[in-house]
Chains A and B, each alone.
Chain A
Amino acid sequence: MAYDRKFKIGKPILEVNNISLAFGGVKAITDTSFNVLEHEVRAIIGPNGAGKSSMLNCINGIYKPQKGTVSFKGKQIPNITPNIMAQMGLSRTFQNLALFKRMSVLDNILVGRKLHTKTNFLEVALQLPKVKKEEKINRDRSEEIISFLEIEDIKDTPVGKLPYGLQKKVELGRALATDSSIILLDEPMAGMNVEEKRDMCRFILKVNDELGTTMVLIEHDMGVVMDISDRVVVLDYGKVIGDGTPDEIMANQKVIDAYLGVEH
C-alpha cells in the first residue's frame, strides 16, 4: 500500500514459533512460524482445512499446541489462555459467530469493555457514583463504536434476531470495544455480499489507519485479501507455503498449485 500511514509498520508484535498442533492422529498444524508486525494488516489464507482457524485458536489460547511458542509484545507466554491474551491486549472474532445472542447489540459491545471495568459486583449493586461514571465512559465508547460501524438503528435489538452480515459487524464492534492493540478476525466477510464486504474492508482499514490497530485476518476472497493486506501468509495442510506481500504471493508457484491444484 503506497499511501502515507499515520502509524508506520514497526517491529514484530506477535511471533508464532514452530507451532505444531494435532488432534489425536490428525495433524492440524505442523511446525509453523510467522510473525505479525505492529500496525500492519496481515492475512492468513489457505484452502479449507489448512489449519487457519486452528492457528488463531492457538494464538488466542483456546487450543494448546503440543509444540512451539507464541510471543506477544516481546514476551514469550508460557500458559496461554484466552483471558491472559485479552488482558495483554489481543482481541478476536470467531468464524461461526460467537455473540451473546440474547443480549442487545449495545450490551454485546459493552461486554467488550470488560477489561476497562474495574468496579466489583458490590459497587455495581449499590450503584456507587464511581460505577455510574465508569458505566458512562464505557457506554459513550460503545456508542462511538456503534456509530462508527453505522449500526445505530439496531443497537437495542437482541443480536440473535439480526441477519448474518450485521452480526459479523457487531462481532467486530465487540472486538473493537476492547481497545486492543491487535485484533484477530476469523473470516470477517464470510457469507457477505459484495457491498457488505466493501463496507467491512472499509471498517478494517479505517480502524487500522486511525487507531493503528494491528489486524490479522483469515479470508477466502482473494480479491479482498490482496487489496487490503500488507503481508500474507499462506497455509496448506498445516504448513506455511508462502509468506510475503500480496504481489509476491500471487507470483508464488506453490501457492498457485495449492489453490488451482497440480498434476501429479
Chain B
Amino acid sequence: MKPVLMTYTRRDIINFCVLMFLGLIIIPTFISTEYWYTSILIPWLCLALATIGQQIVMGYTGQLALGAAGFMAAGAFAMFNLILRVPDLGFFGSLIVSGLIAAAFGILFGLPSLKVRGIYLMVATLASQFFIIWMIDKFGWFKNYDSSGIITAQDIVILGKPFTTPLAMYLVCLGVTAVLTLLAMNMARGSTGRNWMAVRDMDIAAESMGVSLLKTKVQAFAISAFYCGVAGALFAFCYLKSLEPVAFDIKLSFKILFMCILGGLGTINGAFIGAAFILLFPVLLNSVGNNVFHGAIDATIISSIEQVIFGLLMIIFMIYEPLGMAKLWENFKQNIKSKLSSSSIKNLKSSPLKNLKK
C-alpha cells in the first residue's frame, strides 16, 4: 500500500470546513440534552485545541515539552483578569490577549530547547507547569484576592449579549476552535510547518538550509502556548465555569500529552481524535460497568482499568503506529477508496495510472 503522508491539502481544508459547518447546524438541531454539551462537546473542543498546541511543539517541531496545562492556566487567569480589569477589550479581545500572554510564557520556557533536547527538555519544560501554578497561588492579585480558592468565572458577554446557555457556550467554543484549527492547518501545510518539521527531522540540515533553529523553536513554543492559553481560557469559562489553579495540574498536562500521542504525533485531526478518545473512553467504560456488570465492579477498579488500558495503548501505538489513530483513520479511508476504485470502472477513468501501478 502507498505510504500515507500526514500533510494537508486544500481538499482536507474544505472537508474540515464542511465538518465544522455540520457541527454548527446538525448538532444543535439533534442534540438537546445539556449533558452532551457541558460534559462532552465543550471539554472535547477545549482539550482538542490544547492538544493542537501540544502537537505544534511536539508533533511538528519535535520538542518534547510537557506543560500544556501550565499555559492553559496562564490563559485562563489572564482571561479572568482581563475581563475584570480591562472590560473594554470584549470577550474575543480578552481571549486573544490571554493567548498572547500565554505565548509570552511559552517563549520564556521554550528557550531551554535551544540547549537541551529529549527527556531533559521535558524536565525543563515541567518548570513552566509548576512555576505558573505557583505564581498564581502565591500572588493574590491574580485571583483578585479571593480567599475561597475557587473563583467563579464571569459570564461570557459578546457584543452586549450573554452567552450562558450550554448551547451558546458550545457555539463559542466551536467557533474559536474552528478558526484556530484552520489557521493551524494552514501553518502546518505551509512554509511555517515545513520549517517545524525540518527542525524535527534533522536540525543540522535545517540550519544548513537557512532555517534558524532559535527562531523556529521559539516560534513553535509561542504558537503552542497561544493555543494552550486560548484553550485554557475556554476550558475555564465554558466548561469549569470557575477558576482554580488545581484544575490545571500536571495530570491535565499528561492527559493532553496522551491525546497528542494516541491521536497521532504530527497530525491536526489526530488532536480531535485523541481528545475524543481520552474523554469518551472513561464514559464508555463506566457505562459498560453499569449496564453490563450492573455495578458489580467497583468504580475505583474501573478507573484503574482505564489507566491500564491507556498505558497499554500508548505502548502499542508507540511501537506499531507512531502516527496514532489519525493514521489508522487515513489507512481505513485508503482501503475503502482502493476497494471502491477496483470495483467500479468509473473511478478508473479518473486515475488510470494509479490503478495500473497497483
B residues less than 8 Å from A12 (CB atoms): none
Q: Which of A60, A83, A98, A121 has the most CB of B within 10 A?
A: A121
Q: Which of A138-189 contact B (CB under 8 A)?
A: 138, 156-158, 161, 174, 178
A-B pairs with lowest CB-CB distance, top 10: A98-B205, A100-B201, A86-B210, A124-B190, A125-B183, A115-B210, A82-B207, A82-B208, A121-B192, A124-B192
Known contacts A104-B7, A156-B5; A124 and B187 CB within 8 A of each other: yes
Q: Which of A106-149 contact B (CB under 8 A)?
A: 107, 110-115, 117, 119, 121, 124-127, 131, 134-135, 138
Q: How far is the CB of A55 from chain B (nearest CB, A)?
A: 15
B202 interfacial contact with A, CB 8 Å? yes
CB within 8 Å of A: which residues of B?
3, 5, 7, 183-184, 186-187, 190-192, 194-195, 197-198, 200-202, 204-213, 219, 223, 266
Count residues of chain A with CB under 8 A from any CB of chain B: 42
A256 interfacial contact with B, CB 8 Å? no
Q: Which of A77-109 contact B (CB under 8 A)?
A: 81-83, 85-87, 91-92, 94, 98-104, 107
In whole angstroms, how far apart are the Cα atoms of A187 and B223 in the complex? 39
Q: How far is the CB of B230 from chain A (nearest CB, A)?
A: 14
In whole angstroms, how far apart are the Cα atoms of A91 and B3 in the complex? 30
**B191 & A119 in contact (Cβ 8 Å cutoff):** yes
Q: Which of A82, A94, A115, A135 has the most CB of B within 10 A?
A: A82
B residues less than 8 Å from A114 (CB atoms): 191, 194-195, 198, 209-211
B residues less than 8 Å from A92 (CB atoms): 208
**A104 contact from B5, B198, B266, Cβ within 8 A:** B5
A residues less than 8 Å from B200 (CB atoms): 100, 102
A224 interfacial contact with B, CB 8 Å? no
Q: Which of A187-231 contact B (CB under 8 A)?
A: none
In whole angstroms, how far apart are the Cα atoms of A60 and B204 in the complex? 11
- Closest-by-CB residue of B relative to A94 is B205
Known contacts A104-B7, A126-B183, A161-B3; A81 and B207 CB within 8 A of each other: yes
Q: Besides A83-B213, A87-B210, A91-B208, 4 other CB < 8 A contacts?
A: A111-B206, A125-B186, A125-B190, A134-B191
**B3 contact from A100, A119, A158, Cβ within 8 A:** A158
- Closest-by-CB residue of A relative to B180 is A125
In whole angstroms, how far apart are the Cα atoms of A156 and B9 in the complex? 12
**B191 & A117 in contact (Cβ 8 Å cutoff):** yes
**B209 & A178 in contact (Cβ 8 Å cutoff):** yes
**A124 & B186 in contact (Cβ 8 Å cutoff):** yes
User: Across the A-B interface, how many residue pairs have beta carbons closer than 8 Å?
Assistant: 108
In whole angstroms, how far apart are the Cα atoms of A219 and B7 in the complex? 36
In whole angstroms, how far apart are the Cα atoms of A82 and B7 in the complex? 28
- Closest-by-CB residue of B relative to A114 is B210
In whole angstroms, how far apart are the Cα atoms of A135 and B191 in the complex? 8
Known contacts A111-B209, A135-B190; A157 and B7 CB within 8 A of each other: no
Q: How far is the CB of A142 from chain B (nearest CB, A)?
A: 11
Q: How far is the CB of A60 from chain B (nearest CB, A)?
A: 6
B residues less than 8 Å from A134 (CB atoms): 191
**B201 & A107 in contact (Cβ 8 Å cutoff):** no
B residues less than 8 Å from A126 (CB atoms): 183, 186
In whole angstroms, how far apart are the Cα atoms of A119 and B192 in the complex? 9
- Closest-by-CB residue of B relative to A87 is B210
A residues less than 8 Å from B207 (CB atoms): 81-83, 86
B residues less than 8 Å from A113 (CB atoms): 191
Known contacts A126-B183, A131-B190; A102 and B266 CB within 8 A of each other: yes
Q: How far is the CB of B336 from chain A (nearest CB, A)?
A: 20
A residues less than 8 Å from B208 (CB atoms): 60, 62, 82-83, 85-86, 91-92, 98
15 contacts between A and B (CB under 8 A): A60-B208, A86-B207, A100-B198, A103-B194, A103-B201, A104-B7, A112-B209, A114-B191, A114-B198, A125-B190, A126-B183, A134-B191, A135-B190, A158-B5, A178-B210
Q: How far is the CB of B25 from chain A (nearest CB, A)?
A: 25
**B187 & A121 in contact (Cβ 8 Å cutoff):** yes
**A107 contact from B187, B197, B213, Cβ within 8 A:** B197
- Closest-by-CB residue of A relative to B183 is A125
B residues less than 8 Å from A119 (CB atoms): 191
A residues less than 8 Å from B192 (CB atoms): 121, 124-125
**B204 & A111 in contact (Cβ 8 Å cutoff):** no
In whole angstroms, how far apart are the Cα atoms of A124 and B3 in the complex? 27
- Closest-by-CB residue of B relative to A107 is B194
Q: How far is the CB of B52 from chain A (nearest CB, A)?
A: 12
B residues less than 8 Å from A138 (CB atoms): 191
